[in-house]
Chains A and B, each alone.
Chain A
Amino acid sequence: GESVGLHLPTLSVQEGDNSIINCAYSNSASDYFIWYKQESGKGPQFIIDIRSNMDKRQGQRVTVLLNKTVKHLSLQIAATQPGDSAVYFCAEPFSPGNTGKLIFGQGTTLQVKP
């Protein structure tokens, strides 16, 4: 069946360093991916998305890379700050065209050391 998984449960980085969070997916037909950030006590917050016709997309301090050959995507956070400490999830729709029904990965906890 379909699955979206993250490679590491916890990532610890020094403040100011760059962070890379990885995610693998199993469905080669997947065409849309989303990264969410979840802080303690809050719901997931949209960070950035990417469609399968793109290899890279940049936002403010974040970049998502998509490698369709190996079914892998990554979230890169530049100059990581203490406020970036959270759990990060990759997600994809159950079926193309409906982002209300998402499959989430297990999540990676990002810890930023001062």
Chain B
Amino acid sequence: DAGVTQSPTHLIKTRGQQVTLRCSPISGHKSVSWYQQVLGQGPQFIFQYYEKEERGRGNFPDRFSARQFPNYSSELNVNALLLGDSALYLCASSLKQGANEKLFFGSGTQLSVL
């Protein structure tokens, strides 16, 4: 079975541009979460979606938005990119929202903002 897949794997943008990152969860998984990982730090929670509804948002500005589609895939959008948005963006999926649900991560999209 395929794991969590993310695209693209690498991306280079300039300040002020907009970016869309894509994620396909493991088949059958209905919960998708997004994390930002700055070099040398642990992942930081951005969003969680379950059954196409936002179920949580981390401490990120409104420039960050996301959505989940009927097939449970998800997109993360970042507008007006800043240099500080350069990071590895990780998508994770779980079967459902709740306790004891293991989170499976994709390999991430490496975003560089110049």
Could you list which residues of chain A lie within 8 angstroms of chain B, going by C-beta atoms?
32, 34, 36, 41-46, 49, 89, 91, 94, 96-107
Contact = CB atoms under 8 A, between A and B. Distances in A.
Contact of B103 (A96, A102, A105): A102
B31 A100 contact: yes
A96 B41 contact: no
A36 B48 CA distance: 19
Contacts of A100: 31, 33, 48, 50, 55-56, 92, 94, 97, 101, 103
29 contacts: A43-B4, A43-B105, A43-B107, A44-B43, A46-B102, A46-B103, A49-B102, A89-B43, A94-B56, A96-B99, A98-B55, A98-B56, A98-B97, A99-B94, A99-B98, A99-B99, A99-B100, A99-B102, A99-B103, A100-B50, A101-B45, A101-B58, A102-B33, A102-B45, A103-B45, A104-B43, A104-B44, A107-B40, A107-B42
A63 to B, nearest CB: 19
B42 to A, nearest CB: 3
Tell me the interface secondary structure of chain A in the complex. Answer: loop
Nearest to B106: A43
A27 to B, nearest CB: 15
B64 interface: no
> Most chain-B Cβ atoms within 10 A of its Cβ — which of A32, A34, A43, A89?
A43
Contacts of A32: 99
Contacts of B102: 46, 49, 99
Contacts of B42: 89, 91, 104-107
Given A100-B48, A102-B103, 16 more contacts: A41-B107, A42-B108, A43-B105, A43-B107, A46-B104, A99-B94, A99-B99, A99-B100, A100-B31, A100-B94, A100-B101, A101-B33, A101-B45, A103-B45, A104-B35, A106-B40
Contacts of B107: 41-43
Contact of B41 (A36, A41, A43, A107): A107
Nearest to B31: A100
A88 to B, nearest CB: 10
Contacts of A105: 42
